[in-house]
C-alpha cells in the first residue's frame, strides 16, 4: 500500500544508547518531516527536509540528527538517548499539490 512506512514500531533503549528511526515514502513527495508527540503537548517538529539533499531544524532539534538519504527515505538518529526523549515519533510527507501531510504509523520509543 502506498504511504509512509516507519520502522521500528516499538523500541526500548537504555540511557546513552543510540538508534536510528527509519522512514520511507513511496508517493514521490519532496518534503518530509519528523515530529514527536508527548502527552498534552501535541506534535512538535524536530527536523524537516524540503527536498532531497536539504535538512533544517524544527522546534525541538537538540539531541537528534537526520539524514535525507534519497527522495524516499528520511531517517532520524538519536546519538545518546536520554529519558526526555521517551515519546511517540511520527514521520510525515507532503504532497506538492496540496498542504496535507500523510503520516506514518509512528514509533513508540521508551528510554530507561
Q: What counts of helices (H) and strands (E) characterise the chain? A: 0, 11
What CA–CA distance (Å, rounded) separates 8 from 44? 20
**Residue choice 1, 10, 40, 97 for contact with another protein (CB under 8 A):** 40
Residues of this chain, 10-39, that bind another protein according to CB under 8 A: 31, 33, 35
User: Pattern 50-69, binding to another protein, x per CB under 8 A?
Assistant: xx----x-xx----------
Please give the grid coordinates belonging to residue 87. 515519546
Nearer to another protein, 4 or 13 (CB): 4
Please report, as ranges, the residues that interact with another protein according to CB under 8 A. 31, 33, 35, 40-45, 48-51, 56, 58-59, 90, 94, 98-101, 103-106
Amino acid at each position: 500500500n502506498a504511504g509512509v512506512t516507519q520502522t521500528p514500531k516499538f523500541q526500548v533503549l537504555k540511557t546513552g544508547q543510540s538508534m536510528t528511526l527509519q522512514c520511507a515514502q513511496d508517493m514521490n513527495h519532496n518534503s518530509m518531516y519528523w515530529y514527536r508527540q508527548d502527552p498534552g503537548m501535541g506534535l512538535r517538529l524536530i527536523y524537516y527536509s524540503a527536498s532531497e539533499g536539504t535538512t533544517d531544524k524544527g522546534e525541538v532539534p537538540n539531541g537528534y540528527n537526520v539524514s535525507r538519504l534519497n527522495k524516499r527515505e528520511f531517517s532520524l538518529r538519536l546519538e545518546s538517548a536520554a529519558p526526555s526523549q521517551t515519546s511517540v515519533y511520527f514521520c510525515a510527507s507532503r504532497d506538492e499539490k496540496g498542504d496535507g501531510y500523510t503520516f506514518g504509523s509512528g514509533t513508540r520509543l521508551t528510554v530507561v
